[in-house]
Amino acid sequence: KAGVTQTPRYLIKTRGQQVTLSCSPISGHRSVSWYQQTPGQGLQFLFEYFSETQRNKGNFPGRFSGRQFSNSRSEMNVSTLELGDSALYLCASSLEGLAGRDTGELFFGEGSRLTVL
Amino acid sequence: DQQVKQNSPSLSVQEGRISILNCDYTNSMFDYFLWYKKYPAEGPTFLISISSIKDKNEDGRFTVFLNKSAKHLSLHIVPSQPGDSAVYFCAASPVFGNEKLTFGTGTRLTIIP
């Protein structure tokens, strides 16, 4: 069973640009959530999509947005990039929701490492 | 406001000994807790969880303890093995359902051969 796939794995952008990251969840998983990982901050929740609808949202500015398609694939977009947006962006999928139904297990991808210069 | 805190950024333990990773939380609405393990260049993987109706959950070498009155949980690994070297994140959820997980900042565990 294929895992969560994130593309691209690495990318470098400059301040002011925008970026789109892609996530393909595990087949059958309808929930996709996005996290930002930075040193010293742990994993910060960005948002969660379930059946093409944003169900939960973290405390990030409006420059961070996302969407989910009918095949459950998800994209997140960051506009007007700032130096502080440099981070590892992790996508996770689960069968029923963020905390799951049975084990609370999220399945994470390997992440997209964004560097903003 | 960090609602889930892992106050030890790093921990070194001799192989074969017990590793104890600690996690504190402030939100009394949290009632489901998970530990994730992360190797470099990989996404976090689920390790073990515990709900608030229990105070202990065991899975092989891994045991999680929950002290609700102290708002504290800990992960015990015994015996520790070199492959356990990784960053460990604790996470919490207010309900067993659709609420988002709040993660701690992580503890880097190094097992010394």
Of all residues in chain B, the percent with pLDDT exceeding 70 is 95
For B15-49, the pLDDT digits (tens) are 999 999 999 999 888 888 999 999 988 899 999 99
pLDDT of A102 higher than 60? no
Residues of B with CB under 8 A from a CB of A: 4, 6, 9, 32, 34, 36, 41-46, 49, 89, 91, 93, 95-106
Contact B102, A104 (CB under 8 A): no
Contact A34, A76 (CB under 8 A): yes
* Identity of residue B97: G
Higher pLDDT pick, B86 / A104: B86
Contacts of B95 in chain A (CB under 8 A): 99
**What is residue A69's predicted lDDT score, i.e. its pLDDT?**
96
Residues forming a β-bridge with A104:
none
Who's near A68: CB < 8 A, 6+ residues apart? Answer: A32, A49, A50, A51, A52, A53, A74
pLDDT of A109 higher than 90? yes
For A13-29, the pLDDT digits (tens) are 999 999 999 999 999 88
Task: Give dist(CA B23, CA A55) in Å, integer.
Answer: 27
- Is A99–B103 a contact, with Cβ atoms under 8 angstroms apart? no
Task: Give dist(CA A23, CA A27) in Å, integer.
Answer: 12
A42: left (phi over 0), alpha (psi -120 to 50) or beta: left
- Is A45–B102 a contact, with Cβ atoms under 8 angstroms apart? yes
Contacts of B106 in chain A (CB under 8 A): 42
For B52-102, the pLDDT digits (tens) are 889 999 999 999 999 999 999 999 999 999 999 999 999 998 765 556 788
**What is residue A95's predicted lDDT score, i.e. its pLDDT?**
77
- Is B98–A110 a contact, with Cβ atoms under 8 angstroms apart? no
Contact A66, A77 (CB under 8 A): yes
CA B103: distance to chain centroid? 10
| Among A40, A44, A105, beta carbon nearest to B46 | A105
Residue in chain A lying closest to B92 (CA): A99
pLDDT of A83 higher than 70? yes
- Is A43–B89 a contact, with Cβ atoms under 8 angstroms apart? yes
- Is B97–A108 a contact, with Cβ atoms under 8 angstroms apart? no
